[in-house]
Chains A and B, each alone.
Chain A
Amino acid sequence: MSNAFLIKYGEIGIKGKNRHLFEDALVRQIKHALRPIEGAFQVTKEQGRIYIESLEECDQEEVTERLQCVFGIVGICPVEIREDQGFEQLARDVIEYLEANYGSKSLTFKVHTRRARKNYPMPSMEVNAALGERILEAFPNMKVDVHNPELMLNIEIRKMINIYSQTIPGPGGMPVGTSGKGMLLLSGGIDSPVAGYMIAKRGVKIDAVYFHAPPYTSERAKQKVIDLAKVIAKYAGPIYLKVVDFTAIQMYIYEKCPHDELTIIMRRYMMRIAEHFAEETGSLGLITGESIGQVASQTMHSLAATDDVCKFPVYRPLIGFDKIEIINISEKIGAYKTSILPYEDCCTIFVAKHPVTKPSLKVIRRSELKLQEQIDEMVKTAIETAETIVVEAE
């Protein structure tokens, strides 16, 4: 069993002069992801490759599972690392490796050698042919197939020699922390955690804000949001979650404004408050889980009315997704079961029976004038009394 992993990364390999920044971030994220696992790991980067070596026995599956949550990783290869003691020894090592991993299975194979160390005495093609011959001798059941091999045996000749044949897909994307920070409007639903995941995948660090409306929403609803933040944190790292008490504002809007405009006006105030926190903590944009036409507040008219109050860009990674596509991602990232727990959030409590679907900016702005008297004070209080929770993955 090998106790080392070779990490392949795609996109960040082409980042020119910034490349080392991306690689360093990836190394940092890998180290962070492995921290909860028992045992010590050494993470090193070398010529376009990152190696993880376990210094003690480790649970390979657990390591793989953790690494599959690290954005920027394209492939995870359990690798055998041997010292270069000449071709004869390499051939013996390869036979031993195949014996241990594949036994006497009859497979078609191909040897693929890469010579990063150009002073190795044999060229790659020769190594391929010579090793192929040895393998055919040792395993009469195996056959060569250079076009569609069942087993792709990779030999990389570097300072040491790497032998690997399996590539477990990583999540792709870019290492978190290489693309700035965004403020996610997180509710207890299905969409917003997925939106957070998708933006984090592009290397963005995530902060979040949740609007709490006691006694209309319960402690359990809040706990649910914290649990969802934990799911995102598994991929995005620790999340600073702001919990805003929104009840007073919500009720004030309810009393003063037409009820069919409630949701839109409420969302405009959520955006204002989220933007305030974004500015305060250095986020570069807001992130929401909206998708065109999903509900009344997500028609193009409604989104325009919401955006009207934002200076910051609003990122909506799910904008063109159908619900079922969103659910699929939610299940994949492990959020779905939590998202469907039946605790109400503030968005579902004060909903008009027939909310406006094509709000006019002019009308909405005019309705908001009715709030003039107290709203600024209320927003200020909501911001000042917000609770900050640091949410870490489990």
Chain B
Amino acid sequence: MQVYLDNSSTTKCSPAAQALMAQALCEGYGNPSSLHQKGVEGESYIKEARARICKTLKAKDTEIIFTSGGTESNNLAIIGSAMANKRSGMHLITTSIEHPAVDSPMKFLEEQGFSVTYLEVDQYGTISLEQLEASITPETILVSIMYVNNEIGAVEPIDQAAEIIKRKNPAALFHVDAIQAYGKYRIHPKKLGIDLMSVSGHKIHGPKGIGFLYIKEKTKLKPIIFGGGQQGGLRSGTENVPGIAGLGQAAMESYDRFDEKQERLYQLKEAFRNGLAQEPWAHFNGKAGRESAPHILSLTVEGVRSEVLLHALEDKQIYVSAGSACASHKPAPSRTLQAIGIKKEYLDSTIRISFCAENTLEEVDYCLSALKAVVPMLQRFTRH
């Protein structure tokens, strides 16, 4: 049995998205900017995709910019808004558990003279709204908070954060990295008070190399890529038509039978947690049940290095992720795990299991028995 439980790294592309992409690649090959019929045909794929995405967000079609993926969306949102608004202030706020695609642009902006406040999180990875409120100043131009943490599945209080930001400094923009949340939650940015929101295609059964940034109308943003002026000049470069078509299809599908799928993910997650409840070596990070994301589980296995466990499971055709990529020569422990304060000896013993709605309870059982068989064996050999 082959069991893929690494859906937060990437997902399998949906068959309908694949088919639509092949069609866009073969038939809709015209450059969307061309004035002739072929160009119009190419453009029609983009229009269709945009409409599908807007429907899921209750957004306007002018509010979506296609990018090369989540990383670019985050970069455009953060650097683009900082550059456009630096005259109003040079202060930014983010959290200490962001993905590197948010954290690194922040570090870059610090080098450019901006100051950044990194919000702390509690043992479950949740930010403190009090600290957020206290951090916002008249100088603050951007707050960037992830919706769902990619390592432990913590869900941040986005609606309350938005309310606080708009109350304390109405001019400050609110960016949300929703790469792990889109498709798992119903997100209506306008209603929530979100100005900018990043989404990636390949996390929702769409293709790699494509994503979008939601930009609320009238939000001031500067481009970070310059060229032919496509997409209103905000993101130059001939549009990735097949990628966009595939993304549109995947976005639509991820909100099909939404409640049923969300329910299923929670079921799988709970089955997994419960299955290891009696094992003294298993510790789960983050909140249980509905208070954390439906698809992400962070599991610390006492006395076993995550990479070794990963390969041992791989041997049984079970694919998971190491909570932190850590090699003997270059230790780079996970910032998220450090931020939630897990014990030092657990940093390198944490794996991430992430589901998609196609996973089954049989697969979970198979994985549980594999873990129970493999872990005691591996525990016999620990590094000194």
Q: Do A and B bind each other?
A: yes
| Chain A contact residues, CB within 8 Å of chain B | 214-219, 251, 254-255, 259, 342-344, 348-353
Instruction: Looking at the assembled complex, report how far the CB atom of A4 sits from the nearest CB atom of chain B, in whole angstroms.
Output: 48
For B330, list chain A residues within 8 Å (CB). Answer: 342
Contact assessment for B384 and A215 in the assembled complex, using a CB-CB cutoff below 8 Å: no
A-B contact pairs, 11 of them (CB 8 A): A215-B309, A215-B311, A216-B308, A216-B311, A216-B381, A218-B311, A255-B380, A342-B327, A342-B329, A344-B307, A344-B327
Contact assessment for B311 and A349 in the assembled complex, using a CB-CB cutoff below 8 Å: no
Contact assessment for B314 and A348 in the assembled complex, using a CB-CB cutoff below 8 Å: no
Given A254-B381, A255-B380, A353-B384, are A218 and B327 also a contact pair (CB < 8 Å)?
no
Contact assessment for B315 and A215 in the assembled complex, using a CB-CB cutoff below 8 Å: yes
B312 within 8 A of A: yes
Taking a contact as CB atoms closer than 8 A, the residue among B310, B315, B383 that contacts A349 in the complex is B383
Task: Tell me the bound Cα distance from A255 to B311 in angstroms.
Answer: 21
For A217, list chain B residues within 8 Å (CB). Answer: 311
Contact assessment for B384 and A352 in the assembled complex, using a CB-CB cutoff below 8 Å: yes
For A349, list chain B residues within 8 Å (CB). Answer: 328, 383
For B312, list chain A residues within 8 Å (CB). Answer: 215
Given A215-B311, A218-B307, are A344 and B384 also a contact pair (CB < 8 Å)?
no
For B383, list chain A residues within 8 Å (CB). Answer: 349-351
Task: Tell me the bound Cα distance from A380 to B206 in angstroms.
Answer: 49
Task: Tell me the bound Cα distance from A216 to B311 in angstroms.
Answer: 7
Contact mask B289-310 → A, CB, 8 Å, 1/0?
Answer: 0000000000000000001111
User: Taking CB as reference atom, which chain B residue is nearest A260?
Assistant: B384
Taking a contact as CB atoms closer than 8 A, the residue among B309, B310, B381 that contacts A350 in the complex is B381
- Beyond A342-B327, A344-B307: 8 further Cβ-contacts under 8 Å? A215-B309, A215-B315, A215-B378, A216-B308, A216-B381, A217-B311, A344-B327, A348-B328
Taking a contact as CB atoms closer than 8 A, the residue among B314, B328, B378, B381 that contacts A344 in the complex is B328
Scan residues 258-306 of chain B and give those whose CB is less than 8 A from a CB of chain A: none
Task: Tell me the bound Cα distance from A353 to B330 in angstroms.
Answer: 17
Given A342-B327, A344-B327, are A214 and B381 also a contact pair (CB < 8 Å)?
no
For B309, list chain A residues within 8 Å (CB). Answer: 215
Q: Which of A251, A255, A349 has the most C-beta atoms of chain B within 10 angstroms of its own C-beta?
A: A349
Task: Tell me the bound Cα distance from A214 to B327 in angstroms.
Answer: 15
With contacts defined as CB atoms under 8 Å apart, how many contacts are there between chain A and chain B in the complex? 40
Contact assessment for A214 and B329 in the assembled complex, using a CB-CB cutoff below 8 Å: no
For B315, list chain A residues within 8 Å (CB). Answer: 214-215
Q: Which of A215, A342, A348, A350 has the most C-beta atoms of chain B within 10 angstroms of its own C-beta?
A: A215
Contact assessment for B311 and A251 in the assembled complex, using a CB-CB cutoff below 8 Å: no
What 8 A-B pairs come out closest when comparing CB atoms?
Answer: A215-B311, A342-B327, A215-B312, A353-B384, A342-B330, A348-B328, A342-B329, A218-B311
Task: Tell me the bound Cα distance from A353 to B384 in angstroms.
Answer: 6
User: Taking CB as reference atom, which chain B residue is nearest A354?
Assistant: B384
Contact assessment for A251 and B384 in the assembled complex, using a CB-CB cutoff below 8 Å: no
| Chain B contact residues, CB within 8 Å of chain A | 307-312, 314-315, 327-330, 378, 380-381, 383-384
Task: Tell me the bound Cα distance from A343 to B328 in angstroms.
Answer: 8
For A352, list chain B residues within 8 Å (CB). Answer: 384
Task: Tell me the bound Cα distance from A346 to B165 in angstroms.
Answer: 52
Task: Tell me the bound Cα distance from A351 to B328 in angstroms.
Answer: 11
Task: Tell me the bound Cα distance from A343 to B308 in angstroms.
Answer: 12
Task: Tell me the bound Cα distance from A251 to B308 in angstroms.
Answer: 14
Task: Tell me the bound Cα distance from A343 to B315 in angstroms.
Answer: 18
Taking a contact as CB atoms closer than 8 A, the residue among B311, B328, B380, B384 that contacts A214 in the complex is B311
Instruction: Looking at the assembled complex, report how far the CB atom of B301 sits from the nearest CB atom of chain A, in whole angstroms.
Output: 13
Task: Tell me the bound Cα distance from A351 to B329 in angstroms.
Answer: 13
User: Taking CB as reference atom, which chain A residue is nearest B332?
Assistant: A342
Instruction: Looking at the assembled complex, report how far the CB atom of B71 sits from the nearest CB atom of chain A, in whole angstroms.
Output: 22
Task: Tell me the bound Cα distance from A50 to B312 in angstroms.
Answer: 55
Task: Tell me the bound Cα distance from A342 to B330 in angstroms.
Answer: 7
Given A342-B329, A343-B327, are A215 and B381 also a contact pair (CB < 8 Å)?
no
For A350, list chain B residues within 8 Å (CB). Answer: 381, 383
Instruction: Looking at the assembled complex, report how far the CB atom of A57 sits from the nearest CB atom of chain B, in whole angstroms.
Output: 37
For A216, list chain B residues within 8 Å (CB). Answer: 308, 311, 381
Task: Tell me the bound Cα distance from A234 to B16 in angstroms.
Answer: 46
Q: Which of A216, A219, A259 has the most C-beta atoms of chain B within 10 angstroms of its own C-beta?
A: A216
User: Taking CB as reference atom, which chain B residue is nearest A348?
Assistant: B328
Task: Tell me the bound Cα distance from A351 to B382 in angstroms.
Answer: 10
For A348, list chain B residues within 8 Å (CB). Answer: 328-329
Task: Tell me the bound Cα distance from A217 to B327 in angstroms.
Answer: 11
Task: Tell me the bound Cα distance from A214 to B383 in angstroms.
Answer: 15
User: Taking CB as reference atom, which chain B residue is nearest A247?
Assistant: B381
User: Taking CB as reference atom, which chain B residue is nearest A341?
Assistant: B327
For A219, list chain B residues within 8 Å (CB). Answer: 311
Task: Tell me the bound Cα distance from A217 to B383 in angstroms.
Answer: 14
Instruction: Looking at the assembled complex, report how far the CB atom of B249 sits from the nearest CB atom of chain A, in whole angstroms.
Output: 33
Taking a contact as CB atoms closer than 8 A, the residue among A215, A251, A342 that contacts B314 in the complex is A215
Task: Tell me the bound Cα distance from A259 to B329 in angstroms.
Answer: 21
User: Taking CB as reference atom, which chain A residue is nearest B325?
Assistant: A342
Instruction: Looking at the assembled complex, report how far the CB atom of B215 sits from the nearest CB atom of chain A, in whole angstroms.
Output: 38
Contact assessment for B308 and A215 in the assembled complex, using a CB-CB cutoff below 8 Å: yes
Instruction: Looking at the assembled complex, report how far the CB atom of A357 sits from the nearest CB atom of chain B, in whole angstroms.
Output: 16
Task: Tell me the bound Cα distance from A24 to B384 in angstroms.
Answer: 54
For A251, list chain B residues within 8 Å (CB). Answer: 380-381
Task: Tell me the bound Cα distance from A350 to B383 in angstroms.
Answer: 6
Instruction: Looking at the assembled complex, report how far the CB atom of B2 sits from the nearest CB atom of chain A, in whole angstroms.
Output: 16
User: Taking CB as reference atom, which chain A residue is nearest B374?
Assistant: A215
User: Taking CB as reference atom, which chain B residue is nearest A254?
Assistant: B381
For B378, list chain A residues within 8 Å (CB). Answer: 215
User: Taking CB as reference atom, which chain B residue is nearest A251?
Assistant: B381
Instruction: Looking at the assembled complex, report how far the CB atom of B315 sits from the nearest CB atom of chain A, in whole angstroms.
Output: 6
Task: Tell me the bound Cα distance from A218 to B327 in angstroms.
Answer: 12
Task: Tell me the bound Cα distance from A215 to B311 in angstroms.
Answer: 5
Task: Tell me the bound Cα distance from A348 to B310 in angstroms.
Answer: 18
Contact assessment for B384 and A259 in the assembled complex, using a CB-CB cutoff below 8 Å: yes
For A342, list chain B residues within 8 Å (CB). Answer: 327-330
